[in-house]
Amino acid sequence: MSGRLEGRVAVITGGASGIGLECARRFVAEGARAVLADRNPEMLIAAQTELGNAVVTEVIDVTSEADVERMVARAVSEFGTLDTAVNAAGFGGFGMIADHPVDEWRAVIETDLVGVMLSVKHEARVMREAGRGAIVNIASINARVPAEGMSAYCCAKAGVEMLTRCAAMELGPFGVRVAGIGPGFIDTPLTAFTQVVPAIRDAYVASTPLGRAGQPDDVADAVLFLVSDDGRWVSGDTLFVDGASMNKAYPELHKVAAP
């Protein structure tokens, strides 16, 4: 099947790399046009060069409401509408609670949770008015699985899952679906550090029953399902794409990385 997103218009935060970029590739291949939003201008240029006229780019910080509003307005001005969104911008951190600098903790919460809230807010306004739309928020298995040293990330992603449920309730009567994806360990630029510390990557793979790290296209396939008509009766749920890793203990990274 092809052309599942023919005529659709999307915005993708974190769209210059990793899961966001792979979603952009799949969406364009299925007939969509998209605004790719990211804070890295050089990587946005590379994505634009790869995907051509089907995409335009915006340099944004998802913690800035003005930036997010500009991203959504660009989709409407450039392509005439907005009916699809993937909120993938985010990053992690590491620090034990008793020693964690609060500014670093807040930075993760601001990007990973507040940034998703702002994105949904402004995407929903356009979709609500049009009476249709599909939004996918990228959470994590850490929405439900705790990890030592990752309290900020876990709390942010748990918040994303609950935000998704609340938004689905509020927007459903207007014909707008909201769903989530909870990836397990995925090979992306944000996890590239595990190539430098192989023991960490090995620990993640060992905790994954399917026996390998996930790839961005593993997640993009699930996102495509959710935003397409194939997922037309799915809203409010978070789909965990994790190779069954939620069924095993989370790696004790602070011990694996210890000298």
Q: Which are the catalytic amino acids? A: 153
Give the position of tokens 């993708």. Answer: 12
Alpha-helical runs (H) found in the chain: 18-29, 41-51, 65-79, 102-109, 115-130, 151-171, 193-196, 198-206, 216-227, 253-256
- How far apart (Å, rounded) are the C-alpha atoms in residues 242 and 256? 21
Give backbone dihedrals phi and psi of 90, rounded to 5 degrees, phi first: 175, 170
Burial of 77 (0-12, 13-18, 19+ CB in 10 A): exposed
The alpha carbon of residue 196 and the mean position of all alpha carbons in its chain are separated, in whole angstroms, by 24
The β-bridge partners of 180 are 137, 238
What are the CB-based long-range contacts (under 8 Å, 24+) for 150-154? 150/92, 150/93, 150/94, 150/253, 151/95, 151/97, 151/100, 151/105, 152/92, 152/93, 152/95, 152/100, 152/104, 152/105, 152/108, 152/109, 153/92, 153/93, 153/108, 153/112
